[in-house]
Amino acid sequence: MNAATLSGELVVSGLRKWYHRRDQAPVHVLEDCSFRIEPGKLTVVMGTSGCGKSTLAYILSGYIKPDEGQVQMDGQPVQGPGPDRIMVFQETALWPWMTVTENIVFGPLARKSVSRKEVTQKALELLRKFGLSEFKDKYPGQLSGGMKRRAELAQALINSPKVMVLDEPFRGLDVMTRELMQEYYIKLFEETRLTTVFITSELEEAIFLADRILIMGNAPSRIVSSLEVDLPRPRTFDVLASERYLEIKKEALEVLFSESMQQAD
Ligand SMILES: Nc1ncnc2c1ncn2[C@@H]1O[C@H](COP(=O)(O)OP(=O)(O)O)[C@@H](O)[C@H]1O
Ligand SMILES: [Mg+2]
Protein backbone atom coordinates (compact mmCIF):
# COMPACT_ATOMS: atom_id res chain seq x y z
CA MET A 1 0.00 0.00 0.00
CA ASN A 2 1.56 3.31 -0.95
CA ALA A 3 0.80 6.76 0.38
CA ALA A 4 -1.20 7.72 -2.72
CA THR A 5 -3.84 5.04 -2.03
CA LEU A 6 -4.28 5.97 1.62
CA SER A 7 -7.02 8.38 2.56
CA GLY A 8 -8.14 10.06 5.71
CA GLU A 9 -5.52 12.76 6.06
CA LEU A 10 -6.60 15.39 8.57
CA VAL A 11 -5.05 18.81 8.60
CA VAL A 12 -6.02 20.77 11.68
CA SER A 13 -5.16 24.44 11.74
CA GLY A 14 -5.47 27.16 14.32
CA LEU A 15 -8.36 25.73 16.34
CA ARG A 16 -9.70 27.94 19.11
CA LYS A 17 -12.68 26.90 21.18
CA TRP A 18 -14.60 28.33 24.09
CA TYR A 19 -17.66 26.95 25.84
CA HIS A 20 -20.08 29.71 26.68
CA ARG A 21 -22.14 29.21 29.77
CA ARG A 22 -25.02 31.26 31.04
CA ASP A 23 -23.97 33.67 33.83
CA GLN A 24 -20.45 32.27 34.01
CA ALA A 25 -17.12 33.04 32.43
CA PRO A 26 -16.55 31.17 29.17
CA VAL A 27 -14.30 28.10 29.34
CA HIS A 28 -11.35 28.48 26.99
CA VAL A 29 -10.51 24.95 25.86
CA LEU A 30 -8.41 25.12 22.70
CA GLU A 31 -5.93 27.81 21.70
CA ASP A 32 -4.14 27.79 18.35
CA CYS A 33 -4.27 24.01 18.11
CA SER A 34 -2.66 22.82 14.87
CA PHE A 35 -1.40 19.42 13.75
CA ARG A 36 -1.64 16.86 10.97
CA ILE A 37 -2.95 13.31 11.15
CA GLU A 38 -1.12 11.17 8.62
CA PRO A 39 -3.27 8.90 6.48
CA GLY A 40 -2.89 5.18 7.20
CA LYS A 41 -1.36 5.86 10.61
CA LEU A 42 -2.58 5.34 14.13
CA THR A 43 -2.18 8.59 16.03
CA VAL A 44 -2.77 8.60 19.76
CA VAL A 45 -3.75 11.81 21.56
CA MET A 46 -2.95 12.07 25.28
CA GLY A 47 -3.41 14.81 27.83
CA THR A 48 -4.54 15.43 31.38
CA SER A 49 -8.19 15.13 32.30
CA GLY A 50 -10.15 18.22 31.24
CA CYS A 51 -7.49 19.47 28.80
CA GLY A 52 -9.87 19.27 25.83
CA LYS A 53 -9.37 15.82 24.28
CA SER A 54 -13.08 15.07 23.84
CA THR A 55 -13.68 18.58 22.54
CA LEU A 56 -11.00 17.98 19.93
CA ALA A 57 -12.55 14.59 19.03
CA TYR A 58 -15.95 16.23 18.50
CA ILE A 59 -14.41 18.92 16.32
CA LEU A 60 -12.48 16.37 14.23
CA SER A 61 -15.70 14.43 13.70
CA GLY A 62 -17.67 17.55 12.83
CA TYR A 63 -20.09 17.33 15.77
CA ILE A 64 -19.09 20.70 17.14
CA LYS A 65 -17.58 23.68 15.38
CA PRO A 66 -14.48 25.50 16.58
CA ASP A 67 -14.76 29.25 17.16
CA GLU A 68 -11.75 29.71 14.92
CA GLY A 69 -9.61 27.50 12.72
CA GLN A 70 -10.58 24.53 10.65
CA VAL A 71 -10.20 20.82 9.98
CA GLN A 72 -9.64 19.55 6.47
CA MET A 73 -10.00 15.92 5.48
CA ASP A 74 -8.25 14.93 2.27
CA GLY A 75 -8.23 18.59 1.29
CA GLN A 76 -11.91 19.29 2.01
CA PRO A 77 -13.12 21.30 5.02
CA VAL A 78 -15.06 19.25 7.58
CA GLN A 79 -18.44 21.00 7.83
CA GLY A 80 -20.41 18.53 9.92
CA PRO A 81 -20.57 14.87 10.93
CA GLY A 82 -20.56 12.21 8.23
CA PRO A 83 -20.64 8.50 8.98
CA ASP A 84 -18.92 7.64 5.72
CA ARG A 85 -16.05 9.92 6.65
CA ILE A 86 -15.50 10.05 10.37
CA MET A 87 -16.94 8.15 13.26
CA VAL A 88 -16.71 8.80 16.93
CA PHE A 89 -16.81 5.67 18.97
CA GLN A 90 -18.83 6.22 22.12
CA GLU A 91 -19.88 3.94 24.89
CA THR A 92 -23.54 4.71 24.41
CA ALA A 93 -23.75 3.84 20.74
CA LEU A 94 -25.92 0.68 20.99
CA TRP A 95 -29.72 0.91 21.23
CA PRO A 96 -30.83 -1.43 24.02
CA TRP A 97 -34.05 -2.50 22.28
CA MET A 98 -32.34 -3.71 19.09
CA THR A 99 -30.32 -6.89 18.63
CA VAL A 100 -26.61 -6.63 17.92
CA THR A 101 -27.16 -7.18 14.18
CA GLU A 102 -30.05 -4.71 14.03
CA ASN A 103 -27.87 -2.11 15.75
CA ILE A 104 -25.08 -2.59 13.22
CA VAL A 105 -27.24 -2.41 10.09
CA PHE A 106 -29.41 0.45 11.37
CA GLY A 107 -27.26 3.39 10.21
CA PRO A 108 -26.64 2.31 6.61
CA LEU A 109 -30.31 1.23 6.22
CA ALA A 110 -31.60 4.53 7.64
CA ARG A 111 -29.51 6.38 5.09
CA LYS A 112 -30.78 4.00 2.39
CA SER A 113 -27.21 3.68 1.18
CA VAL A 114 -27.28 -0.13 0.68
CA SER A 115 -29.69 -3.06 0.44
CA ARG A 116 -30.62 -4.96 3.60
CA LYS A 117 -29.10 -8.13 2.16
CA GLU A 118 -25.77 -6.50 1.40
CA VAL A 119 -25.46 -4.70 4.72
CA THR A 120 -26.53 -7.78 6.71
CA GLN A 121 -23.86 -9.83 5.00
CA LYS A 122 -21.25 -7.21 5.82
CA ALA A 123 -22.49 -7.06 9.44
CA LEU A 124 -22.15 -10.82 9.81
CA GLU A 125 -18.60 -10.67 8.45
CA LEU A 126 -17.69 -7.97 10.97
CA LEU A 127 -19.31 -9.93 13.80
CA ARG A 128 -17.25 -12.96 12.84
CA LYS A 129 -14.10 -10.88 12.79
CA PHE A 130 -14.83 -9.63 16.30
CA GLY A 131 -15.76 -13.06 17.66
CA LEU A 132 -19.43 -12.15 18.07
CA SER A 133 -21.13 -14.53 15.60
CA GLU A 134 -22.89 -16.39 18.38
CA PHE A 135 -24.24 -13.14 19.79
CA LYS A 136 -25.68 -11.68 16.62
CA ASP A 137 -29.29 -12.01 17.83
CA LYS A 138 -28.66 -10.98 21.43
CA TYR A 139 -29.53 -7.61 22.91
CA PRO A 140 -26.80 -5.26 24.20
CA GLY A 141 -27.88 -5.92 27.79
CA GLN A 142 -26.93 -9.57 27.31
CA LEU A 143 -23.33 -8.74 26.32
CA SER A 144 -20.24 -8.19 28.46
CA GLY A 145 -18.49 -4.80 28.40
CA GLY A 146 -15.82 -6.02 25.97
CA MET A 147 -18.44 -7.53 23.65
CA LYS A 148 -20.36 -4.26 23.62
CA ARG A 149 -17.21 -2.37 22.64
CA ARG A 150 -16.60 -4.88 19.83
CA ALA A 151 -20.19 -4.50 18.61
CA GLU A 152 -19.72 -0.72 18.66
CA LEU A 153 -16.56 -1.05 16.59
CA ALA A 154 -18.52 -3.15 14.07
CA GLN A 155 -21.26 -0.51 14.10
CA ALA A 156 -18.69 2.15 13.17
CA LEU A 157 -16.82 0.05 10.61
CA ILE A 158 -19.95 -0.95 8.67
CA ASN A 159 -19.89 2.61 7.28
CA SER A 160 -16.38 2.10 5.83
CA PRO A 161 -15.15 5.35 7.38
CA LYS A 162 -11.94 6.93 6.14
CA VAL A 163 -11.02 7.97 9.65
CA MET A 164 -11.88 6.47 13.02
CA VAL A 165 -11.88 8.83 15.97
CA LEU A 166 -11.94 6.83 19.20
CA ASP A 167 -12.42 8.75 22.45
CA GLU A 168 -11.09 6.65 25.34
CA PRO A 169 -12.92 3.64 23.91
CA PHE A 170 -11.63 1.08 26.41
CA ARG A 171 -11.97 3.18 29.53
CA GLY A 172 -13.70 1.37 32.34
CA LEU A 173 -12.95 -2.13 31.07
CA ASP A 174 -11.06 -4.52 33.33
CA VAL A 175 -7.39 -5.05 32.50
CA MET A 176 -7.81 -8.40 30.72
CA THR A 177 -10.69 -7.18 28.57
CA ARG A 178 -8.84 -4.00 27.80
CA GLU A 179 -5.82 -5.95 26.56
CA LEU A 180 -8.08 -8.13 24.44
CA MET A 181 -9.68 -5.03 22.91
CA GLN A 182 -6.26 -3.54 22.20
CA GLU A 183 -5.35 -6.74 20.35
CA TYR A 184 -8.57 -6.62 18.33
CA TYR A 185 -7.99 -3.03 17.38
CA ILE A 186 -4.32 -3.36 16.53
CA LYS A 187 -5.06 -6.38 14.29
CA LEU A 188 -7.82 -4.49 12.56
CA PHE A 189 -5.58 -1.48 12.07
CA GLU A 190 -2.63 -3.48 10.81
CA GLU A 191 -4.89 -5.28 8.30
CA THR A 192 -6.68 -2.18 7.03
CA ARG A 193 -4.40 0.78 7.85
CA LEU A 194 -7.54 2.71 8.61
CA THR A 195 -6.48 6.21 9.65
CA THR A 196 -7.11 6.35 13.39
CA VAL A 197 -7.14 9.05 16.02
CA PHE A 198 -7.16 7.22 19.35
CA ILE A 199 -7.58 9.16 22.57
CA THR A 200 -6.40 7.53 25.74
CA SER A 201 -4.95 8.43 29.11
CA GLU A 202 -3.13 5.09 29.46
CA LEU A 203 0.50 5.38 28.44
CA GLU A 204 1.06 1.64 27.86
CA GLU A 205 -1.99 1.48 25.63
CA ALA A 206 -0.78 4.57 23.77
CA ILE A 207 2.69 3.20 23.04
CA PHE A 208 1.44 -0.28 22.19
CA LEU A 209 -0.98 1.06 19.57
CA ALA A 210 0.57 4.23 18.20
CA ASP A 211 2.66 5.25 15.24
CA ARG A 212 2.77 8.70 16.80
CA ILE A 213 1.67 10.15 20.13
CA LEU A 214 0.49 13.74 20.27
CA ILE A 215 0.48 15.26 23.73
CA MET A 216 -1.91 18.06 24.56
CA GLY A 217 -1.00 20.79 27.02
CA ASN A 218 -3.27 22.06 29.74
CA ALA A 219 -6.33 24.09 28.78
CA PRO A 220 -6.47 26.33 26.81
CA SER A 221 -4.76 23.55 25.01
CA ARG A 222 -2.84 22.71 21.90
CA ILE A 223 -0.45 19.95 20.90
CA VAL A 224 2.75 20.57 22.85
CA SER A 225 4.71 17.49 21.91
CA SER A 226 4.82 14.78 19.30
CA LEU A 227 6.56 11.44 19.82
CA GLU A 228 7.19 8.95 17.09
CA VAL A 229 6.66 5.33 18.13
CA ASP A 230 8.92 3.34 15.82
CA LEU A 231 8.24 -0.09 17.31
CA PRO A 232 7.91 -2.69 14.53
CA ARG A 233 4.54 -3.93 13.24
CA PRO A 234 2.74 -6.27 13.47
CA ARG A 235 2.91 -5.72 17.21
CA THR A 236 2.26 -8.16 19.98
CA PHE A 237 2.46 -7.57 23.71
CA ASP A 238 6.09 -8.75 23.54
CA VAL A 239 7.07 -5.22 22.50
CA LEU A 240 6.22 -4.05 26.01
CA ALA A 241 9.37 -5.81 27.19
CA SER A 242 11.70 -4.33 24.55
CA GLU A 243 14.46 -1.76 25.15
CA ARG A 244 12.95 0.64 22.64
CA TYR A 245 9.55 0.50 24.36
CA LEU A 246 11.15 1.50 27.65
CA GLU A 247 13.03 4.38 26.00
CA ILE A 248 9.82 5.71 24.43
CA LYS A 249 7.99 5.31 27.72
CA LYS A 250 10.65 7.29 29.56
CA GLU A 251 10.55 10.08 26.98
CA ALA A 252 6.74 10.23 27.10
CA LEU A 253 6.68 10.22 30.91
CA GLU A 254 9.03 13.20 30.99
CA VAL A 255 6.74 15.22 28.73
CA LEU A 256 3.55 14.17 30.56
CA PHE A 257 5.15 14.86 33.93
CA SER A 258 6.32 18.34 32.97
CA GLU A 259 2.82 19.15 31.68
CA SER A 260 1.14 17.98 34.87
CA MET A 261 3.68 19.92 36.96
CA GLN A 262 2.78 23.08 35.08
CA GLN A 263 -0.85 22.43 35.94
CA ALA A 264 0.04 22.08 39.62
CA ASP A 265 1.73 25.51 39.60
N1 LIG B 1 -20.58 21.44 26.90
C2 LIG B 1 -19.72 22.04 27.71
N3 LIG B 1 -20.02 23.20 28.33
C4 LIG B 1 -19.15 23.82 29.15
N5 LIG B 1 -17.93 23.33 29.43
C6 LIG B 1 -17.56 22.17 28.87
C7 LIG B 1 -18.43 21.45 27.99
N8 LIG B 1 -17.79 20.33 27.56
C9 LIG B 1 -16.60 20.35 28.16
N10 LIG B 1 -16.45 21.45 28.94
C11 LIG B 1 -15.24 21.82 29.71
O12 LIG B 1 -14.19 21.96 28.76
C13 LIG B 1 -12.99 21.43 29.29
C14 LIG B 1 -12.47 20.34 28.35
O15 LIG B 1 -13.36 19.24 28.39
P16 LIG B 1 -13.13 17.89 27.55
O17 LIG B 1 -12.92 18.24 26.13
O18 LIG B 1 -14.23 16.96 27.88
O19 LIG B 1 -11.73 17.38 28.17
P20 LIG B 1 -11.09 15.91 28.28
O21 LIG B 1 -11.80 15.02 27.30
O22 LIG B 1 -9.64 16.11 27.95
O23 LIG B 1 -11.25 15.45 29.69
C24 LIG B 1 -13.31 20.96 30.69
O25 LIG B 1 -12.97 21.98 31.58
C26 LIG B 1 -14.79 20.73 30.66
O27 LIG B 1 -15.36 20.91 31.93
MG1 LIG C 1 -12.83 13.22 27.46
- The string of pLDDT tens digits covering residues 196-250 is 999 999 999 999 999 999 999 988 999 999 999 999 999 999 999 999 999 999 9
Ligand 1 pocket, mutate which of 21, 29, 51 (most atoms under 8 A from CB): 29
- Reported as a single tens digit per residue, the pLDDT across 164-183 is 999 999 998 999 999 999 99
Three-class SS state of 183: helix
Distance 109 CA to ligand 2 centre (A): 30
d(CA 78, CA 164): 14
Q: What is the mean pLDDT of the chain?
A: 91
- Reported as a single tens digit per residue, the pLDDT across 1-14 is 454 567 899 999 99
Pocket flag, ligand 1, residue 55 (CB < 6 Å)? yes
What is this structure's pTM?
A: 0.93
pLDDT at 50 over 70: yes
Distance 53 CA to ligand 2 centre (A): 5
- Reported as a single tens digit per residue, the pLDDT across 75-113 is 999 999 887 667 666 666 899 999 999 999 998 898 887
Domains and CATH numbers, the chain: 3-85+162-264 (3.40.50.300), 92-160 (no CATH)
pLDDT of residue 40: 96
> For the packed helices 116-129 and 145-157, what is the interaxial angle rounded to 10 degrees?
140
Distance 55 CA to ligand 1 centre (A): 6
